[in-house]
């Protein structure tokens, strides 16, 4: 029996074809993973863009409110710039870091009483 008659050459071609099929399956699996990851990244990117837009809107509203409040206080003479600066520094330092931002501590969770154990009456 020669090499071409179902012996060693047959095993070689089977190995070569099986290996190519496995490589193609791996490539398709990777392509699928890339598509899924790409969709996820696009969706997450859109969510982050929306969140940034919300935060920019909120910041603009806070700036407008602050400007209006300061203007009214100045117009009525109720604003003392020295006291305002002192209060700003006080509040800035209250969170432990003087960084020009105010980060209040989160509200503590209300305490809950543990549930009383259920006592079962013994039947006599």
Q: What's the distance, CA 42 to chain centroid?
A: 15
- Sorted by sequence, the CB contacts under 8 Å of residue 14 that are 6+ apart come out as none
Q: What is the pLDDT of residue 13?
A: 67
Q: How many CB atoms lie within 10 A of CB 92?
A: 15
Contacts of 73 (CB under 8 A, 6+ apart): 79
Give me 69's structure tokens: 């409040």
Which of 18-32, 43-57, 77-91, 109-123 is least confident? 109-123
The domain ranges of the chain are 13-94
Query: What is the SS3 assignment for 20?
Result: helix
pLDDT of 8-29, one tens digit each? 666 766 777 777 878 888 899 9
* In the predicted structure, residue 65 carries a pLDDT above the cut 80: yes
Of 78, 100, 79, whose CA–CA distance to 89 is shortest? 100
Query: Which residue would you say has higher pLDDT here, 93 or 116?
Result: 93
pLDDT-wise least confident of 4-13, 73-82, 103-112: 4-13
The residue among 105 and 4 whose pLDDT is bigger is 105
Tokens of 117: 């154990």
Mean pLDDT of the chain: 83
């Amino acid at each position: 029996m020669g090499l071409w008659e179902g012996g060693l050459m047959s095993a070689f071609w089977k190995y070569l074809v099986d290996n190519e099929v496995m490589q193609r399956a791996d490539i398709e699996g990777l392509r699928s993973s890339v598509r899924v990851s790409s969709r996820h990244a696009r969706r997450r990117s859109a969510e982050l863009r929306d969140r940034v837009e919300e935060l920019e809107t909120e910041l603009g509203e806070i700036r407008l409110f602050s400007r209006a409040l300061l203007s009214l206080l100045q117009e009525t003479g109720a604003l003392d710039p020295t006291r305002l600066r002192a209060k700003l520094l006080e509040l800035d330092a209250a969170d432990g870091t003087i960084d020009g931002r105010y980060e209040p501590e989160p509200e503590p969770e209300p305490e809950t009483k543990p549930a009383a154990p259920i006592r079962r009456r013994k039947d006599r």
